[in-house]
Amino acid sequence: MSDGDRGTTVPTGEPSAAGDPSVLADRLGVAVDPALLELALTHRSYAYEHGRIPTNERLEFLGDAVLGIVITDALYHRHPDLPEGRLAKLRASVVNMHALAGVGRAVGLGALLRLGRGEELTGGRDKESIVADAVEAVLGAVYLDHGLETARAVVHRLFDPLLQEAPGRGAGLDWKTSLQELASVEGLGAPEYHVGEEGPDHAKTFRAQVLLGGAARGSGSGRTKKEAEQRAAAAAYEDIRGTEVEGDGPAGNPAGPAPAGGPVASPRLPVLDLPTPQANGSVGSPVPPAASAGD
């Protein structure tokens, strides 16, 4: 990192909730300059409440470019026979907010974020957009501190599980589309999703159950309707195939950080026990059916 970068004024103070930044070094496989790391973890809501100090948005911009070139380079060399359109879809299945948020959750980034009071109260530590942006900002910080090759190693450590399983998802490269394709091949009919919601408006949890031929085949939950349905579809896909799939890459990895030098382990998505949908379409009487909000 240049002297100019080291001299950047960065916010001071502790994260709004318990979190040990030193643990992040173990999970990334590399230590990051403390001042840069602090900046990478500073959300604009925190900056606004502390005198409009610098935010992580410039580092996010840089990290997005670093992530894009590393993933694009990997796909180009790993799949020499794929056309441009297919490569673009593969990249989009790895470099997206949902996947980035999964990576961020796996390394415990949420607990380290510096958030304003409003975001703290509305579940900002687990919001996909905030966590995904922080992942890119951290990658930007790694790049500034150590250069492209170290940043490349960190990207592969965190994203290789997604790179490995993306080609198996089918033409759609998302679990709902892949489940629909598989169900068609197996003669199971079209998937039917039942989604309910619970919790206060500022911290809703969506729970989805997918049925095929009237039988429940998978369940999942998330902060949005779309996330819950994707998790349910991944669980159903696994159930039909009889093999483990990595629906979120490293997201929610119960085993903790990856071993040094290796990628984050690919976990099995949780399958939640939801009540059988009632005749009126609700998922259990306590949980009203969800509308399109949260998608």
Q: Is 111 helix (H, G, I), strand (E, B) or coil?
A: helix
Contact status, residue 55 vs residue 42, Cβ threshold 8 Å: yes
Give the contacts of 141 (CB within 8 A, at least 6 positions apart).
32, 33, 36, 37, 39, 40, 59, 63
Q: Is 165 a catalytic residue?
A: no
Q: Is 206 helix (H, G, I), strand (E, B) or coil?
A: strand
Given 38, 133, 136, 174, which residue is catalytic? 136
Phi, psi of 222 (to 5 degrees): -170, 175
Contact status, residue 240 vs residue 182, Cβ threshold 8 Å: yes
Contact status, residue 108 vs residue 23, Cβ threshold 8 Å: yes
**Alpha carbons 272 and 7: distance in angstroms, whole number:** 49
Given 33, 38, 60, 64, which residue is catalytic? 64
Positions of the chain with pLDDT under 70: 1-19, 168-173, 243-295
Give the contacts of 8 (CB within 8 A, at least 6 positions apart).
35, 39, 54
Q: Is 134 helix (H, G, I), strand (E, B) or coil?
A: helix
Q: Is 64 a catalytic residue?
A: yes
pLDDT digits (tens, 9 = 90+) for 12-37: 334 544 467 788 999 999 999 999 99
pLDDT value, residue 82: 92
Contact status, residue 183 vs residue 212, Cβ threshold 8 Å: yes
- Report the amino acid identity of residue 292: S
DSSP for 276-288, please give it: PP-TTS-SSTTSP
pLDDT value, residue 67: 98
DSSP for 186-205, please give it: TT----EEEEEEES-GGG-E
- Which residues face 215 on adjacent strands? 212
pLDDT value, residue 170: 55
